[in-house]
Amino acid sequence: MDDLKLVWGDKDLFRLAWLKTNSTFYWSARPAGSAGRFDPVSGRFCGGSIVQHDPAGEVLFLHRNARKLRQGHVEKHWTHIEQFKVGVDLSEYTMSSVIGAPDFPDLRNCYGEDKNYTYYDLTPIEDFPFAVIEDRLIMYFNAGLSFK
């Protein structure tokens, strides 16, 4: 299916399975956003985590899919969250992948809109009620390493 460009990964495979089995499912009206770093000098954003929304359009889940936690590699990556603006026509929604360099030399790929924020809100993580979530995630990860 990937070769035919029919799906974009597991989310589409789940959707096709639910459709095939006539299962009930819900697709959030607000498209996925991205959590990552913002460079104030260049004005570029580099997302590395998918931001999923609840039915009301609020942040529900952050999937740290492109910036895995690994022993010796536990850097914080979430300084900002980029979200598609409410009320903008969905035909304006894009999710792109760009090269991180030169502004993010340690990051190979960046996801989301990296410079043109016309249709997107870029919000500092500290403005969300879950601002410390990445600190806690790293704390639990490090605690888990002690169980080896």
pLDDT tens, per residue, the chain with 148 residues: 556 666 666 777 888 888 999 998 877 889 999 999 999 999 999 999 999 999 899 999 999 887 788 888 788 999 999 999 999 999 898 878 888 888 888 888 898 877 778 999 999 999 999 999 999 999 999 999 888 6
Calpha distance 84→93 (Å, rounded): 7
Cβ neighbours, 10 Å, residue 25 = 10
pLDDT at 7: 67
Task: Provide the whole-model pTM.
Answer: 0.83
